[in-house]
Structure 1
Amino acid sequence: MDGSGIDYHAVFHALPGAVALLTPDLVYVDVNESFVETSGRTREQLIDRYLFDVFPDNPNDPAANGMRNLRASLERVAATGEPDTMAVQRYDVEYPDRSGVWHERYWSPVNVPVLAADGTVVLLLHRVEEVTELIRAGSSSAGGDHAQVLEAEIYTRGRELQEVNERLRRAHAHEREVALHLQETLLPAPRPLGHHHAAVRYRPATMALNVCGDWYDLVDRPGRTAVSVGDVVGHGLGAAGVMGQLRSALSAASHVAEGPAQALEVLGLYARSVDGAESTTAVSVFIDWNSRTLTYSSAGHPPPLLCHPDGTVTFLDRATDPPLGARPEHAPRPQEQLAFAEGSTLVLYTDGLIERRREDIDVGLGRLADALVRHRTAEPDVLADALLADLIPAVGITDDTALVVLRL
């Protein structure tokens, strides 16, 4: 019951269609009365059990693929947060009171994500409509041998569609592997920073090809390190190409610029000549190891975090300017400076780490700050993995994430 006075639990159980709720790990958490009746199982035989322990493929049919097809659909919904309507499936079901005897049945499934407030998938709604009798009725009306031909044609077409989907999935997996290799070649391998330890991470989104425009960069010079992250709008090879150009340009500017504001000014001027660089965000932090100060400037990017040894957190948000190309005319960019104590931790990241659909960005920033405080004593590599584990949903993210963690 909510403020509307509607008992949605009662509505769920009164639905005329067969509906089940599953965890992203494919364990039943609830089923309505129609699902119980249609499946031929009791609630006790379903709730808290793994879907394919209850409904495995028919072991007597070597061509059975209903379980594989259904698993692929549900896992896709869990990963992408998008609904999936499946082709008609032949999925035989064992009679509950006749062990080893299987009933040939046909189903029309639809799988839909149930999202939390932060946009993560918390449940999978699995709606099935049994169409066995419909297929049988259509076959009977066709008569005799033609009925068998019609039934075989329906089954064959369904299997052909699933085989096409499987080939597409494999092709996509290969493209993804190539794309990630390309992404790795565009991003620098982390180098030792004297006795200072840095950890970098890149996590692609769970959707699409995932060659993207996120980058990180570290430029180490005597007594000074410049660290930056940036995010080009869009995905695909075009965004990756723009990212490679901008990262290289900012890296070169960071070698000679007096400070991060000047480095971003140079980048902004260069970006005017690069198609697709408009609205790119970036942030740069210059670390002076001798004076123990941070100087930073941001071009529309989420603020880095400085976690002090006592657990207090400072957002580096006092020198923020619009993204690259947002102004019609060139203008100097601001920069700010603050001191740090030995043992502090600096974190830079892209928005995939904190932003979630239908959630204010301040919620994500607060979540990051809380996680950083909890894990602040860990070594940078451990800390970086802990932040990803805490902040990236188990079902994946819809935006790429770059992360840099430095122990100062």
Structure 2
Amino acid sequence: MRKPQIDYTAVFRALPGMVALLTPDLVYADANDDFLRLAGRTLEQLLGRYIFDVFPENPNDPAAAGMRETRASMLRVVATGERDTMALLRYDIEDPQRPGVWREHYWSPVNAPVLGSDGRVALVVHRVEEVTELFHARGGPNGDSRARVLEAELYTRARELQQVNERLRQAHAREREVALALQAAMLPAPGPTGPHEAAVRYRPAVGALNVCGDWYDLVDLPGDNLAVAVGDVVGHGLAAAGVMGQLRSALSAACRVADGPAQAVEALGLYARFVDGAEATTVVTTFIDWDSHTITYSCAGHPPPALVRLDGTVVFLDQATDPPLVARPEHLPRPQARTPFAEGDTLVLYTDGLIERRDEDIDTGLGRLADSLTHHRHAAPETLADVLLAELLPSTGNTDDTALIVLRL
């Protein structure tokens, strides 16, 4: 059966309902026939023009907010790459045949992104349902007054709900800024690691609250050895940032006095039982002994570190895996395992945001990480860290934050 030849331009023109395409600068790129008919404009009057130059706010209505709300919705789409459904709004339009005469309109708009090959928003789809007739009189010149009152009340409640949602969004945005500042203060750049290059990265998630559960740490040990750890607190926002700071500090102290990573993680687990919000935290800790060229590690529910050998072989350190912190009602010793390394190998620790996707098995993400590490194994740690984030994280941003450490052994 031959694939039908579809004229998508003709389909766009014939789409039922008002649909327009705008650039990220909110300039009209196209509009379908229903949009032109119901808006009372020609395509020539729209193309290449800023949307609010064509449809300004009604200057005779000081309470008008349709332009501000529509612009805010479209800019959110451009910034986030996500669809934005607006509450019902009133947006008066000047009669093109009678300048200075404004016609009352009620719209139910949805704005959606069209992504380009680079993953950025290339166009904004602006779809509008014209519901003005619902607010016009019924059954005669004066209409059904009771229905009109009910409709007006519904419209008022919808506007109030939209205003509440906007205030919540602004509050979440402020919390995100504070949480990111706190995160930056608690995750400084690594100190000197002798002749061994190290790179660390933290990439916050897309969204107002999905930030601040992940951490990394590098701790000097006796004998010029090194402990490297990453962890992930369940939860987001300021509460998760506070828990993260407590657990990071506790593990750093435990590593300095413990005989090995298992004992350090065991001590952290005991401490976590007395920290609200620490339940189900995952963490992996590695102790690196430069003299014996060995890595001793212990993992509490966390994705396994990756050891990249000079020949490109990738070994996942998964022989000492245990449940997350506070996941068991009783306290039990943690396991640990040891593996050798050669000078020039690379150790990579990361949180699940780097590899996990909701629509695929975790082994797929681990395989993607292994392929990238093999291909770029000769890159310096700073370069490799940037490459991993660029290749493995979605171009539109991830829904979970990501911490990453790359250490050249």
Shift of 1:130: 2.4
Q: What is the correspondence of 1:173-192 to structure 2 with a 5 Å cutoff?
A: 173-192=173-192
Q: TM-score, normalised on structure 1? A: 0.75
User: Which residue is 2:217 aligned to?
Assistant: 217
Contact 1:57 1:65 in 2 (8 A): no
User: Which residue is 2:147 aligned to?
Assistant: none
- Alpha-carbon distance between aligned partners in 1 of 2:238 and 2:19, rounded to the nearest angstrom: 41
Shift of 1:122: 11
- Alpha-carbon distance between aligned partners in 2 of 1:59 and 1:30, rounded to the nearest angstrom: 19
Over 3 Å counting, the alpha-carbon distance change for 1:284 and 1:170 in structure 2 is same
Counterpart code for 2:400: D
Contact 1:91 1:105 in 2 (8 A): yes
Q: What is the correspondence of 1:86-125 to structure 2 with a 5 Å cutoff?
A: 86-88=87-89, 90=91, 106-111=106-111
User: Which residue is 1:267 aligned to?
Assistant: 268
Shift of 1:89: 5.1
Note the alpha carbon deviations across 1:322-356, whole angstroms, 9 max, x for none: 11112222222222222222222221111122222
5+ residue gaps in structure 1?
A: 2-6, 144-151
- Alpha-carbon distance between aligned partners in 2 of 1:39 and 1:133, rounded to the nearest angstrom: 14
Q: How many residues align?
A: 391
**Greater Cα offset, 397-406 or 373-382:** 373-382
Q: What is the correspondence of 1:177-256 to structure 2 with a 5 Å cutoff?
A: 177-210=177-210, 212-221=212-221, 222-256=223-257
User: Which residue is 1:147 aligned to?
Assistant: none
- Other structure's SS at 2:213 match: strand
Please identify the structure whose Cα radius of gyration is greater: 2
Shift of 1:243: 1.7
Over 3 Å counting, the alpha-carbon distance change for 1:156 and 1:219 in structure 2 is same
Contact 2:107 2:130 in 1 (8 A): yes
Shift of 1:293: 1.8
Shift of 1:109: 0.6
Shift of 1:31: 8.0
Over 3 Å counting, the alpha-carbon distance change for 1:86 and 1:217 in structure 2 is same
Contact 2:225 2:287 in 1 (8 A): yes
**Greater Cα offset, 278-287 or 342-351:** 342-351
Shift of 1:391: 2.3
Q: What is the correspondence of 1:55-134 to structure 2 with a 5 Å cutoff?
A: 58=55, 69-74=69-74, 76=76, 79=80, 81=82, 84-88=85-89, 90=91, 106-111=106-111, 126-132=126-132
Counterpart code for 2:201: R
Counterpart code for 1:292: H
- Alpha-carbon distance between aligned partners in 2 of 1:364 and 1:25, rounded to the nearest angstrom: 36
Identity of aligned pairs, percent? Answer: 67
- Alpha-carbon distance between aligned partners in 1 of 2:26 and 2:372, rounded to the nearest angstrom: 28
- Other structure's SS at 1:212 match: coil
User: Which residue is 1:294 aligned to?
Assistant: 295
- Determine if the alignment matches structure 1 residue 365 to structure 2 residue 330: no
Over 3 Å counting, the alpha-carbon distance change for 1:283 and 1:57 in structure 2 is farther
- Alpha-carbon distance between aligned partners in 1 of 2:196 and 2:218, rounded to the nearest angstrom: 12
Over 3 Å counting, the alpha-carbon distance change for 1:28 and 1:336 in structure 2 is farther
User: Which residue is 1:4 aligned to?
Assistant: none
- Other structure's SS at 2:176 match: helix
Q: TM-score, normalised on structure 2? A: 0.75
Structure 1 vs Structure 2 CA RMSD: 4.7
5+ residue gaps in structure 2?
A: 144-151
- Alpha-carbon distance between aligned partners in 2 of 1:344 and 1:280, rounded to the nearest angstrom: 29
- Other structure's SS at 1:233 match: coil
User: Which residue is 1:404 aligned to?
Assistant: 405
Shift of 1:165: 6.2
Counterpart code for 1:289: W
- Alpha-carbon distance between aligned partners in 2 of 1:162 and 1:232, rounded to the nearest angstrom: 32
- Other structure's SS at 1:230 match: strand
- Alpha-carbon distance between aligned partners in 1 of 2:195 and 2:220, rounded to the nearest angstrom: 12
Contact 1:214 1:232 in 2 (8 A): yes
User: Which residue is 1:278 aligned to?
Assistant: 279
- Alpha-carbon distance between aligned partners in 2 of 1:338 and 1:30, rounded to the nearest angstrom: 61
User: Which residue is 2:148 aligned to?
Assistant: none
User: Which residue is 1:354 aligned to?
Assistant: 355
